[in-house]
Structure 1
């Protein structure tokens, strides 16, 4: 693949221009050592070449080879969006996002690898932009080449446009709006008080770190081992003894939604890792239903909506 950029700063180095357009050091290294090229006005140059205003810099990115350690699988994909740069799919509950040493097969990465292999795309590597826990269902976001992936990495201006919404189900709580002013004054901003009280909507800002002695579980903690975490929520439906929450993640900590709500005493239905049980559902009631981002190559706002799965719908019937 090749991409072209117009230089706007006199005497700028090629690598400076490319950095301003989201070309990472790693990608630049791939271009240099894996058969790619850098052209200035159609003449091959190196990364430290000095540019004039109006110079056209073209990068030719080498095709990405097959990853022999990732097994392709002939698993049907529910594709929600696809173009030459990005792929968005629906991940079922119970399927891991990526493979591991213990489970080298059966992941979404295997299914996507099989798909791109069958399609015969020039780039055969699988690049995951957003992932989901094994038992969380919903939208997963992939890129189809390394430059598209670099443009959606943390720190990129395009990454800041990415927003994910989740549906989660918890046991019904008393909305803050029905309380008296005196009762409302007793409820802290972030922590649920006795009597199962939760605002109709709000934001949870509590840092998250590893649970001592566990490589899997996380917890709210306030020491050097934690990282800031922010979660917005809104109660959108109260039905059948349950509350349906619409949640926006502002940070991407491991198990963030599950940890934040379990800390408030509101473990997600089915989440036995964080205080729930399987009485009503054999997995956590969590589903990524909305993805939006500004497309780096078209500047178009892409919005994708996915219906709630049947197992969560049945809880609310």
Structure 2
């Protein structure tokens, strides 16, 4: 693919600084230095030390992306949003996001590669931007090519995306809104994370949307992206997610953690517009709410 940036400024910048200013990552600059990505200005091949002259047309030429070792799975995916740069899909609970030691062939990434092949896309490496635990459902943002991944990196690193989750937790959560600020630490050799003073900083804001004495439907916003963050934070407050056996949740009514990536809002670095997408609540969580006499309809 080709990506063109018009220099509308009179600043006397090197192409390196010019590209950084336009959200091209250091990783992409390294690939330009290695000539894996070609850099041209006004039709001429140049390097990063050249000056970005006024009104110049700066072009990046990316080679097609593919990985023969990544197996394509042609099982269907639910697409919530798609354009030339982004794919946002609704991941079902039980499907792993990325290949791992025990599954190299039937994950969400494998399915998306199959989708890319069926759509005759030139680039066929899905770049997962917002990964979910296997048993968490909901929306996953995927960059269709290296450039999109590169340009969204700053928002990921600065936790600038507005990610909202819906969780169904045990008990009547009080207070009805707040900020959970508890550091999270990994335990070597164990799947669980723990709250520990020497852990990584972690913040979760929440709002109780509906509740009774038995359970609460909670909307949560992440300010950090630690593994198991929502699950551990609510468990630490005494309100474990229903179905979350790892953190003490009741598995009587549901056997997977009652957690759904519901809404994502971020600044599209290509269009410079806010992009917002929501994922419908899956049937198992709808049924769980109904059994608890709670409702999602008011959100």
TM-score normalized by structure 1?
0.86
SS of aligned partner of 1:130: coil
CA contact (8 A) 2:159 2:224 kept: no
Alignment partner, residue 171 of structure 1 = 170
Alignment partner, residue 115 of structure 1 = 115
Pairs within 5 Å for 1:145-224: 145-153=145-153, 155-156=154-155, 160-173=159-172, 198-211=174-187, 213-223=188-198
Which has more radius of gyration?
Answer: 1
CA contact (8 A) 2:170 2:249 kept: no
Q: Distance in 2 between matches of 1:278 and 1:74?
A: 32
C-alpha displacement at 1:109, in angstroms? Answer: 0.6
Alignment partner, residue 56 of structure 2 = 55
Pairs within 5 Å for 1:282-301: 282-301=255-274
Higher mean C-alpha deviation, range 247-256 or range 55-64 = 55-64
CA contact (8 A) 2:206 2:219 kept: yes
SS of aligned partner of 2:257: coil
CA-to-partner distance for each residue in 1:131-150, whole Å, 9 max, x for gaps?
10000000011000111011
C-alpha displacement at 1:56, in angstroms? Answer: 2.8
Alignment partner, residue 4 of structure 1 = 4
Pairs within 5 Å for 1:88-127: 88-127=88-127
Q: Distance in 2 between matches of 1:149 and 1:270?
A: 33
Counterpart check, 1:82 vs 2:82: yes
Decide which of 246, 249, 259 is 2:232's aligned counterpart: 259
Q: Distance in 1 between matches of 2:121 and 2:96?
A: 24
Q: Distance in 1 between matches of 2:264 and 2:155?
A: 17
Alignment partner, residue 39 of structure 1 = 40
CA contact (8 A) 1:86 1:143 kept: yes
TM-aligned CA distance change 1:9 to 1:256, over 3 Å: farther
Q: Distance in 1 between matches of 2:139 and 2:49?
A: 41
CA contact (8 A) 2:170 2:215 kept: yes
Decide which of 251, 276, 281 is 1:303's aligned counterpart: 276
Higher mean C-alpha deviation, range 75-84 or range 287-296 = 287-296
Q: Distance in 1 between matches of 2:13 and 2:156?
A: 21
Q: Distance in 2 between matches of 1:27 and 1:269?
A: 43
Higher mean C-alpha deviation, range 86-95 or range 27-36 = 27-36
Q: Distance in 2 between matches of 1:102 and 1:309?
A: 26
C-alpha displacement at 1:33, in angstroms? Answer: 3.9
- Structure 1: gaps (5+ residues): 176-197
C-alpha displacement at 1:239, in angstroms? Answer: 4.8
TM-aligned CA distance change 1:315 to 1:156, over 3 Å: closer
CA contact (8 A) 1:239 1:316 kept: no
SS of aligned partner of 1:72: coil
C-alpha displacement at 1:26, in angstroms? Answer: 2.2
TM-aligned CA distance change 1:156 to 1:268, over 3 Å: closer
Q: Distance in 2 between matches of 1:18 and 1:134?
A: 37
TM-aligned CA distance change 1:236 to 1:37, over 3 Å: same
Q: Aligned residues, how many?
A: 289
TM-score normalized by structure 2?
0.91
SS of aligned partner of 1:227: coil
Alignment partner, residue 293 of structure 2 = none
Higher mean C-alpha deviation, range 142-151 or range 304-313 = 304-313
C-alpha displacement at 1:171, in angstroms? Answer: 1.8
Flag as ranges the 4+ runs of structure 1 deviating above 6 A.
none
- Structure 2: gaps (5+ residues): 291-299
TM-aligned CA distance change 1:261 to 1:214, over 3 Å: farther
